[in-house]
Each structure stands twice: as C-alpha cells, then as structure tokens.
Amino acid sequence: MPARGSQRRRDEIVRLATTSGLASVDELSETFGVTASTIRRDLALLTTQGRLARTYGGAMALTAHPETSLRQRIGEAFGAKRAIARVAAAEVGPGETVLLDAGSTVGALAHELRSVPGLTAVTVGLTALQELSDAEGVTVHCLGGTLRPLSQGFVGPLAEAALERVTFDRAFLGADGVTAEGLCEADLAQTRLKELMARRATDVYVLAHGAKLGRSPFHAWARLEPGWTLITDASAEPASVGRLRGAGITVVVAGVAEGVESSA
C-alpha cells in the first residue's frame, strides 16, 4: 500500500506540473501532506525516469501542456461561455468600436453583438469574423496577419502594424489561463499581440470561464493590468477570484442561467 501511495503521489505531481506549470517543493509538500525531503526524493526519481525536469526549488514538465485546437475547445463549458458573452455584450453601446480577440468565448461574444446598432467590430479571430459576417448594420474589419491554425487567430507583424491605425472603445481578450500575474498563452506572438491590443483600447476585458482561473499551462505571458475587467462564470474558485481582485482587477461573475452573480 505505501508503495502504491507513493506512485499515485508521483503521478499526481507529474499531472500538476503538466497542467499548472512550475511545481515548487514547498507547495507540493503542503498539497500532499508529506515532508519536503519526501518531495525532493520524488522529484529526483521522476527526473531520473525522464518524466520531469528539475528547477531551482521545484520541477516542471519536460514538454509544454499540449495546446488543443479551437475546434476541440468550442464545445467546452458552452453554457458558461454563453453567460460570459451575454454579460460582456451588455457593456457595449450603440455606435462603439470594439476589438475582438480570437477564441471560442470571444466568438460567443461576437454572436451576442450581432444586433448592436452602428457597431464597428475589429477582430483577429476567424470565429468572430464568421459570427459577424452577415450581421446587418455591423461594420467588420480584420487586422490580418499570420494565421495560427490551432487558435484560428491572426498574429504577427501585419496584425501589429494594423493596430497602430485604430483606437477602440473596448477590447475583449481571451486566454488559455488567467492568474493575478497575467494571461497565459501557448505562443509568445499571441501574448505580444494581446498587450498591443490592450494599449489601443479605453477599456479592456478578459473573458475566461472558471476552469481557466489559476491555471498556467504554458510559459508565454501577457501582463494583467489593474483596472482591467475579468468576466468569468460561477464555477470560478473563490480563492482565484480573491487573488485577482486583490491585484486590482475588477471581476464580474456571470450566472449560467441569467445575469450577473457578483462583481467588485
């Protein structure tokens, strides 16, 4: 039994390192209720087995968490994404100019924006383009650039150059993970573009369902600035919400059925 328990603990350490990024000895010791020495022995064995790479004070996965395609993600947390999109759409007024990121949640927002009178929507995402392509009364622009097939979004110098010619009332960003430290993505070009998008907008919103909060599956980051608004759903862990609010982020929690559950 002890041997099986040790193996389960090591398997879980690998899972945590893969899904959450860096794993520290102190955090793992507290999580599993064992001594730091035990965790260090576990990490040494996992490193020898080629399952982890040692870092100062902890370990990390040898390979990045595999990025799933937009097509794979489109059906995940569908109700939560719809609720988030409805709350986000309520922030947009007639005649505004908005900037829409790539991603399934921002795509759901684009669907909700189809009836906004006089709207101008600028996007880097194919999903938003498809949702708004036949929306009457909505002017749609695409920034262009290099298409990332997995995210179905445009990145690169052409998209960045196009941003310099426009300003926006609001920018709506997606993310693979959100912590108080920033927005986590699989690709540095994505994080750079998000930072540039945010600089061109008066108000910045991040749309992320609860499972993405507190996660850092990749190693590319964009800063999450005080004064921005995160719109999430009721599945978000209160501890993650609290850390974000403590960092100066306004957090709005949308109920799946209707409306807003809470905000700060």
Per-residue pLDDT tens digits of the chain, which is 264 residues long: 356 678 889 888 877 776 555 567 888 888 899 998 999 898 888 877 767 666 556 665 554 444 444 444 544 567 889 999 999 999 999 999 999 999 889 999 999 999 999 999 999 999 999 999 999 999 999 999 999 887 789 999 999 999 999 999 999 999 988 999 899 888 888 899 999 999 999 999 999 999 889 877 777 889 999 999 999 999 898 999 999 999 999 999 997 433 344 454
* pLDDT at residue 186, rounded to an integer: 80
CA distances from 159 to 143, 166, 172, 189, 197 (A): 5, 12, 16, 10, 10
* pLDDT at residue 11, rounded to an integer: 84
* pLDDT at residue 43, rounded to an integer: 86
* pLDDT at residue 259, rounded to an integer: 38
State the Cα–Cα distance between residues 171 and 37, nearest whole angstrom. 47
* pLDDT at residue 214, rounded to an integer: 85
State the Cα–Cα distance between residues 224 and 221, nearest whole angstrom. 9
* pLDDT at residue 215, rounded to an integer: 76
What's the whole-model pTM score?
0.71
Residue at 187: amino acid letter? D
* pLDDT at residue 1, rounded to an integer: 33
* pLDDT at residue 261, rounded to an integer: 45
Residue 171 pairs with which residues in a beta bridge? Answer: 99, 204
* pLDDT at residue 126, rounded to an integer: 93
